Amino acid sequence: MLEIKNLHARVGNKEILHGIDLKVNKGEVHAIMGPNGSGKSTLAQVLAGRDVYAVTEGEVIYEGQNLLEMSPEDRARAGVFMAFQYPVEIPGVSNTYFLKAALNAIRKQRGEEELDAMDFLALVREKVKLLEMDESLMNRPVNEGFSGGEKKRNEIFQMAVLEPKLAILDETDSGLDIDALRIVANGVNALRSPERAAIVVTHYQRLLNYIVPDFVHVLSDGRIVKSGGKELALELEQKGYAWLEEAVASASR
């Protein structure tokens, strides 16, 4: 589904990703872990199409297409979804209006008809329940005045409505209490299927108790330094990242 080859990216004059290789097949969940500043979020945002990052080398193939040449909206319409680490507040635009516009743009791309108000409402109700959200949030402006937890839940709620093929979660777990974490994980797990894939970017192992990954990759200084199964996450949790960074440093000496 997704193949990242030798990806280099920079912001300004500073290179952050120094050659990432990663292959994600349908049905798989990949966790990307690593210390702060290792480039985890940069990778997620480059995949979503944020233009503050310039790709200087390498390529990303998504379902046979050159992902890096696609606009952010075309990526979304092709089924890529990133849950933001810091969701943006949009005063004056209601959640409902925003989500309806987004869903219909994506449906149009898929050759499906636009949802009418009734069907849309039914879909929203179902997903609101899944995320255990307060329905009144739907009529409020997007993320405005939402608590940190509500914002994260709103991201997963949007994901549940838009049903992407490839979901990228950028530190969705940070700042969530255990109840919210469980709810968010439920939302993600509900979307797991042999046809879909997910990349879960996280600093902590905790989330992976709820969203059990097929693969775990450790990112350090813009490179994937170790890959393994879900047990790698547990190992990192016990030993910390320092252990790994030292091992990498001594290996490269």
Partner 1 sequence: MAGGSRGECQPVNNFRGCFETMIAVEQNEARYLAIYSEAEKVLAGSGQAWLARIRREAIESFGELGFPTTRNEEWKYTSVVPIAGTVFEPARYELTPQVVEAIKRSPLAHLGCVRLTFVNGHYSGELSDLRQLPGDLKAPNLAAALETGEAKVEEHLARYADYRKHPFVALNTALMQDGASLVIPRGKVLERPICFLYVSRAGSRPAISHPRNLVLVGRESQVSIIEIHLGLEDGTYFTNAVTEVVAEEGAIVEYHKIQQEGPRAFHIGTLAFQQDRSSSISAHTVSLGAALDREDTVAVLAGEGAECHLNGLYVLSGEQHADHHTVIDHAHPHCSSRELYKGVLDGRSRGVFNGKIIVRKGAQKTDSKQTNKNLLLSEDATVDTKPQLEIYADDVKCTHGATIGQIDPEAIFYLRSRGIGKNEARNLLTYAFANDVIGKIRYEPLRTRLGDALFAQLAQGQETEGK
Q: State the residues that interact with partner 1 by CB under 8 A.
A: 48-51, 71-73, 75-77, 81-82, 84, 87-93, 98-99, 101-103, 105-106, 109, 141, 158, 162
Residue indicated by tokens 């209601």: 94
Other C-beta atoms lying within 10 Å of the C-beta of residue 216: 25
Residue indicated by tokens 């739907």: 138
Nearest residue (CB) to partner 1, 30 versus 75? 75
Residue 103: which of 85, 84, 122 has the closest Cα?
122
Nearest residue (CB) to partner 1, 20 versus 82? 82
State the nearest-atom distance from the C-beta of 53 to partner 1, in Å. Answer: 11
Nearest residue (CB) to partner 1, 12 versus 91? 91
Q: Are 91 and 144 in contact (CB under 8 A)?
A: yes
Nearest residue (CB) to partner 1, 73 versus 119? 73
Nearest residue (CB) to partner 1, 137 versus 224? 137
Classify strands 2-11 and 54-62 as parallel, antiparallel or unpaired.
antiparallel
State the nearest-atom distance from the C-beta of 235 to partner 1, in Å. Answer: 33
State the nearest-atom distance from the C-beta of 50 to partner 1, in Å. Answer: 6
The C-alpha atoms of residue 214 and residue 204 are separated, in whole angstroms, by 16
State the nearest-atom distance from the C-beta of 35 to partner 1, in Å. Answer: 25
Positive/negative CA dihedral, 48, 85, 223, 221:
positive
Nearest residue (CB) to partner 1, 72 versus 240? 72
Classify strands 197-202 and 166-170 as parallel, antiparallel or unpaired.
parallel
Q: Report in angstroms the alpha-carbon separations of 71 from 28, 51, 58, 68, 124.
A: 25, 10, 18, 8, 27
Residue 119: both structure tokens together: 């069907």
State the nearest-atom distance from the C-beta of 110 to partner 1, in Å. Answer: 11
**Phi and psi torsions of 17, nearest 5°:** -100, 125
State the nearest-atom distance from the C-beta of 104 to partner 1, in Å. Answer: 9
